Structure 1
């Protein structure tokens, strides 16, 4: 299978490495030094057990002249998805599928500008990874990759799930993947978003009375917005799950925390913003999420100290 991976950050590096075991994989990135290193030395993946492996996908700065591929996996940050796809439209053919495993929800709306709805794959993964150096990915943990469709039955995606599984990325297909994406979203739109706005680690959210009250309010609104879209979640169960995440990683620093600390744009529009959009679609008020989205955007515009 011909696969292109847009973005060679932590997750892009992990998936392009593993998938290159049995597929023709091309990594597309804007970092010239990274592209040069991948082509010369390969991509390194450091596993949780301390072992390390080198993989050799092809890397490019530009896809000009390339033939269309079977699958494009979008791993750039959400705010760069449209420009990345526009810059690489030449590898999107009539049979190409676009897949997103990005944080948040609602990415299918953008992907629909480039391929028919029938060729969009939405998904979620239990793998986690971090960048340990140029061309080096630290694999933090494994799990399932779940794939689903925007329209029609997910059964037609089985060939992609099989290709992933054959490369060590266990995958399945499901018609309920949208609910899985939302299930993963609750921590991000509550505790994680608050760590960014307050510039504190995860443990502070569950330990501080006022921060926790805000967190619970965000979870309540998210549960109500999901229900408005026909996805039922138990509020008390979600609260307990989010608290467990905070308590188990008291010093954990989220990506949105790091983005705001370092003066980068965040993915708040596809994380907390997805709750706002769901609420508007379903006629469910989400004032806390609306406030948080605006607050985080305001923080992105701060002058550097």
Structure 2
């Protein structure tokens, strides 16, 4: 299978490593960060795989083709494109790579946040779109360098009716590379479940400048998480989703003592480390907008969205 990963940041790089190690040699990275692309071209993609059971560090360097998204050549079409951009960059990425999106190209969108189908449908037919989320984690520690944490999984579903077998085949294909992918009959509920993690851990660790485990040790942590999750649940229920608030709170809090406790989520990495604007408008901001639509109060999401934007301004994020 001919694969492209559009958005080769932390998660895109992790998937590239795992897919390549799973035997998929025809894989190309596409990204918009010139320094990152240049580093991969020069030194390969350098991956820190953590430590083995004896405490010895493990690493790998992958020589993989990489294109700057503004320089993607037309005419070479892919069987599968996995989209891993930031939510606000999705439209520009799809515009830049439309020359390699053929009528048979499957597009798997694994972005954080809500509301991506409408953007995808501007560039490919609904029958080509597969929507999912992932619990894998990673950190981009510099141009061309990724650090991989713990284990994870992928859930995905076809957007168009009648593509269920294609979605199951795609999940099976990803699982052959150890990505633990499965078909979901209700991906929107799974996306809301992941969004509860993003809507708490991402913005709160960025605002407080701490990792997940450190946040979990703070006295107000439980109360804050419960309030934020309650707003996600209320909006999700207004959209017809069957969400269990107490289970979702427990799911978020399970991160505190897991293999990702020392992880600094992507919003922290973007804002604190790299002074980049964040995806807050597609996570807490999306819940705030939907809350206004359904006349549901969302004071915590309103405040967190405003605070992240204020911190972006304070740090001169671009």
Q: 1:186 to 1:44 in 2, by over 3 A?
A: same
Deviations 1:265-284 (A, max 9, x none): 11101211232344345453
Deviations 1:143-176 (A, max 9, x none): 3221112232533223322332233323222222
Range with bigger deviation, 77-86 or 42-51:
42-51
- DSSP-derived class of the 1:295 partner: helix
Q: 1:14 to 1:257 in 2, by over 3 A?
A: closer
Range with bigger deviation, 205-214 or 9-18:
205-214
What does 1:170-189 correspond to in 2, within 5 Å? 170-189=180-199
**Within 2, Cα distance between the matches of 1:146 and 1:253?**
23
**Within 2, Cα distance between the matches of 1:183 and 1:251?**
21
2:37 to 35, 38, 41: 35
Q: Which residue of 2 aligns with 1:80?
A: 89
Q: Which residue of 1 aligns with 2:119?
A: 110
2:204 to 156, 175, 194: 194
1:60 to 54, 67, 74: 67
**Within 2, Cα distance between the matches of 1:162 and 1:118?**
19
Deviations 1:73-93 (A, max 9, x none): 111212222112211211112
Q: Which residue of 1 aligns with 2:159?
A: 150
Deviations 1:30-83 (A, max 9, x none): 344443443454323332433333333311222123422222211121222211
- DSSP-derived class of the 2:60 partner: strand
Query: Normalising by the residue count of structure 2, what TM-score does the alignment of the two structures yield?
Result: 0.83
**Within 2, Cα distance between the matches of 1:151 and 1:268?**
28
Tell whether 2:311 aligns with 1:299.
yes
Shift in Å at residue 304 of structure 1?
Answer: 5.0
Q: 1:32 to 1:304 in 2, by over 3 A?
A: closer
- DSSP-derived class of the 1:182 partner: helix
Shift in Å at residue 182 of structure 1?
Answer: 1.4
Q: Which residue of 2 aligns with 1:51?
A: 58
Q: Which residue of 2 aligns with 1:2?
A: 2
Alignment RMSD (CA, Å)? 2.8
- DSSP-derived class of the 1:47 partner: strand
- Contact 1:17–1:56 at 8 Å: present in 2 too? no
**Within 2, Cα distance between the matches of 1:273 and 1:97?**
29
Q: 1:209 to 1:178 in 2, by over 3 A?
A: same
- DSSP-derived class of the 2:314 partner: coil
- Contact 1:117–1:151 at 8 Å: present in 2 too? yes
Q: 1:280 to 1:193 in 2, by over 3 A?
A: same
- Contact 2:192–2:232 at 8 Å: present in 1 too? no
- Contact 1:229–1:282 at 8 Å: present in 2 too? no
- Contact 1:229–1:278 at 8 Å: present in 2 too? no
**Within 1, Cα distance between the matches of 2:310 and 2:141?**
30
What stretches of structure 2 of length at least 5 have no aligned partner?
none
Deviations 1:77-121 (A, max 9, x none): 122221122112111122222222122222222212211222211
- DSSP-derived class of the 1:81 partner: helix
Aligned residue-pair number: 305
Q: 1:239 to 1:198 in 2, by over 3 A?
A: same
Range with bigger deviation, 222-231 or 32-41:
32-41
Q: Which residue of 2 aligns with 1:273?
A: 285
1:257 to 254, 257, 268: 268
Q: 1:197 to 1:137 in 2, by over 3 A?
A: closer
